[in-house]
Chain A
Amino acid sequence: MTLTPLSYRVVDRRDETHDTVTLVLEPASEALKPFAPGQFAMLYAFGVGEIPVSVSRLADGHRLTHTVRAVGAVSRALCGLRTGGWVGVRGPFGTAWDSAAAHGNDLLVIAGGIGLAPLRPLVDAVLAEPQAFGRLNVLAGARTPDDLLYGDEFPAWGKPFGAVTVDRPSGGWTGRVGVVTTLLREARFTPSDTVAFVCGPEVMMRATARALIHQGVRPDRIRVSLERNMRCATGHCGHCQLGPLLLCRDGPVVGYDQAEPLLTVREL
């Protein structure tokens, strides 16, 4: 089943930013197994190609929600789908944000750019059972205010602490300016009892992980989501290899204690 796309129909779409769209998909007949936060699907734009896209919300029933940024031919085709359009879907693939391992701990959810999309199901899961966790901090960085995803949901995430920073302020932006790590100073967490979930560009994740370690968070309590060239999504083709890891199978979510030595090697 994992090698054969199932047909899903677009039942809802929402323009998040000028180049990013959220699609809600419903199976035509047979449905894929349930996804966990952090896992991804291979989305096939018919006649164009297939790309990996994380789930951005665990919808009710068999529906799938994905947020896609138009950066290439396939993602542009997916972003161009209208309600009623068709897409092929394989999955679920990869490792998940293991929120259970964070029970009883403070949480740092740190996103850069569209990295907020794979983290949104995790935030939903934490908010669904807040008593199981310590303090939740949602920190997000975006290129400009107009590039920030899910702006209308942030007020709910901001309890007890949520913050956004942008690289380039515009349009009367009165919020923070700077890299997302600068928000750590005001986050509310006890480093020794914190689990951090980080998703965004690799340089951003490395800088964030280093800042967290400097503050006293253990590397094995920092989870990052790594992206490589994923093709088969079943651990066979080898395109997504990072050292001993095949990221479509052993990732995308990896502990920083495992990822850090791999990310600083020039060629693997």
Chain B
Amino acid sequence: MTSHPVGPPGEQVFAALTTEHRGKLMALAREVAFPGGTRIFEEGEKADRFWIIRSGTVALDVHVPGRGRVVVETIGAGSLLGWSWLCPPRQWHLAAETRDAVRAWEFDAAAVQDLCAEDTALGLSLVTAVAETIGDRLRATRTRLLDLYGPPGPQGIGPVP
């Protein structure tokens, strides 16, 4: 088990899927490429697609009045880009812009949802996989809210100054 910067399609996001399920899903995928600086989607737009990043980096941002676009997270190879398609209101919560050249597998959300309705076992596996990604990002967000790297508290600084 080795981590690679660029793995096979869906290697990380869909690792828990059976070979058959992964095959069915990947039959719906199309390979896409975005130059650096491409706005892939905007906050509030209809979330009708999602991507698995194969290489490159994507920044997720939100527009803050007076401050412009504020990046809240960047994601890279092997990551799922976009989960807002999964549940109402199916609109992007954030915007996404490529930091550098990105290669990705693109999925049409409606087609995937149809496939999940046909094969409920696949649907459960896929939703579980996406939920794991959502959970990861929720945990990361909560951790960041602690202002981790700020000045330590009043307990003193210990051997790690």
- Tell whether, in the assembled complex, residue A203 and residue B1 are in contact, meaning their CB atoms are under 8 Å apart: no
Does A122 belong to the interface (CB within 8 Å)? no
Please, which residues of chain A bring their CB within 8 A of the CB of B143?
Answer: 179, 203-204, 207
Alpha-carbon distance A184/B76, docked complex (angstroms): 11
Cβ-Cβ contact count across A and B, 8 Å cutoff = 146
Which residue of B5, B12, B147, B157 is within 8 Å of A188 (Cβ)? B5
Does B64 belong to the interface (CB within 8 Å)? no
Given contacts A185-B78, A190-B2, A201-B149, contact A178 B159 (CB under 8 A): no
- Tell whether, in the assembled complex, residue A40 and residue B159 are in contact, meaning their CB atoms are under 8 Å apart: yes
- Tell whether, in the assembled complex, residue B161 and residue A67 are in contact, meaning their CB atoms are under 8 Å apart: yes
Please, which residues of chain A bring their CB within 8 A of the CB of B52?
Answer: none
Which residue of B77, B146, B147, B157 is within 8 Å of A71 (Cβ)? B157
- Tell whether, in the assembled complex, residue A114 and residue B2 are in contact, meaning their CB atoms are under 8 Å apart: no
Alpha-carbon distance A203/B71, docked complex (angstroms): 23
Decide if the interface of chain A is mainly helix, strand, loop or mixed: mixed
- Tell whether, in the assembled complex, residue A178 and residue B149 are in contact, meaning their CB atoms are under 8 Å apart: no
* Residue interface bits A39-74, CB-to-B below 8 A is 1, else 0: 010000000000111100000000000111101100
- Between A and B, 13 residue pairs with Cβ closer than 8 Å are A52-B157, A52-B159, A113-B149, A143-B150, A167-B147, A167-B149, A169-B71, A176-B74, A176-B76, A177-B74, A178-B144, A230-B159, A252-B159
Which residues of A come within 8 Å of B, CB atoms? 19, 40, 51-54, 66-69, 71-72, 75, 93-94, 112-115, 117-118, 141-143, 147, 165, 167, 169, 174-179, 181-182, 184-192, 199-201, 203-204, 207, 215-216, 225-230, 240, 247-248, 251-252
